[in-house]
A and B are shown apart, each in its own frame.
Chain A
Amino acid sequence: LAKTTQPISMDSYEGQEVNITCSHNNIATNDYITWYQQFPSQGPRFIIQGYKTKVTNEVASLFIPADRKSSTLSLPRVSLSDTAVYYCLVGDMAGGYNKLIFGAGTRLAVHP
């Protein structure tokens, strides 16, 4: 069973870079790592996904080391609107990658 571990909460200030690390020691060879953002009373939305090394899009960057046992979501120059819960997600081999279990997520609070 692939499990993820993230810090429960983080605090930052506007304009700073935020890095959230997720541990997934049992990640399968074929599995991707996907990050989601959730605002209160809304469903999570996709942020970024990667398999190895570095991925960057208009919202964030994702760093994945060679052993793929962890990943780091990097949010450049955060604003108040980035206050949300961030989840990393990997598949579950036992469920044929269809069984998608979220971890507890990281609650990010951005302060003025």
Chain B
Amino acid sequence: SQQGEEDPQALSIQEGENATMNCSYKTSINNLQWYRQNSGRGLVHLILIRSNEREKHSGRLRVTLDTSKKSSSLLITASRAADTASYFCATGNSGAGSYQLTFGKGTKLSVIP
């Protein structure tokens, strides 16, 4: 069954602005990951945050995790046209195999030059 739910479903911003996407989930997790999918392509891993972490940075990406609210956010700062893509959160669930990820429906981000 689907675990992560991204919000918003679609987001359109101007180049240089920040983009924030949210993910909510239902069950206990070991980790939460964010992936990017360019149109017609496979997914690319962006960042992983473990259940005992609250915030993680990677370049222009900042991820937060609130296990009490079962939610995560992905912030992309100073967005670029090349950031246009769909972004998916995926949860690694407690009790499941290490690589058994459950994906959300994604947020489609459009960055306008």
Q: Do A and B bind each other?
A: no
Residues in chain A within 8 A of chain B (CB atoms): none
